[in-house]
Amino acid sequence: NAGVTQTPKFRVLKTGQSMTLLCAQDMNHEYMYWYRQDPGMGLRLIHYSVGEGTTAKGEVPDGYNVSRLKKQNFLLGLESAAPSQTSVYFCASRPRDRDGRNSPLHFGNGTRLTVT
């Protein structure tokens, strides 16, 4: 049981390049999330998904796209990278709440992206 796995762990891009970050979870969780974390600003939600084939915008969605074609995978795409997108990206997942208890997020280990 690997939990939430993110690839790659590190990446350096030049301005204007594109890339896709992959998140995979093996816990059969319904909900998946992409956050970015910057110094002094905490975790900010980029996009999220409440089920296979569905996605929704978070707080800071501009410049990113996502897809959830399979329940276990959630992809984050940068079509034209900008230096402002230099950050640490975390994927997270959680199951539906059950028995009246809130279910916590399970995080991947992060992807450190630098855009020059």
**Nearest distance, CB of residue 87 and another protein, angstroms:** 14
Contact flag: residue 73 with another protein (CB under 8 A):
no
| Locus of tokens 């034209």 | 80
Taking only Cα atoms into account, the Rg of the chain, rounded to an integer number of angstroms, comes to: 14
- Start-to-end CA distance of the chain, whole Å, equals 36
DSSP string, 44-61: EEEEEEEETTEEEE-SS-
Contact flag: residue 43 with another protein (CB under 8 A):
yes
**Nearest distance, CB of residue 108 and another protein, angstroms:** 6
Scanning residues 23 to 42, which ones bind another protein (CB under 8 A)?
31, 33, 35, 40-42
6 φ, ψ (degrees, to nearest 5):
-115, 140
Question: Binder to another protein among 13, 29, 55, 108 (CB under 8 A)?
Answer: 108
Q: Which spans of this chain sit near another protein (rule: CB under 8 A)?
A: 31, 33, 35, 40-45, 48, 50, 56, 58-59, 90, 102, 104-110
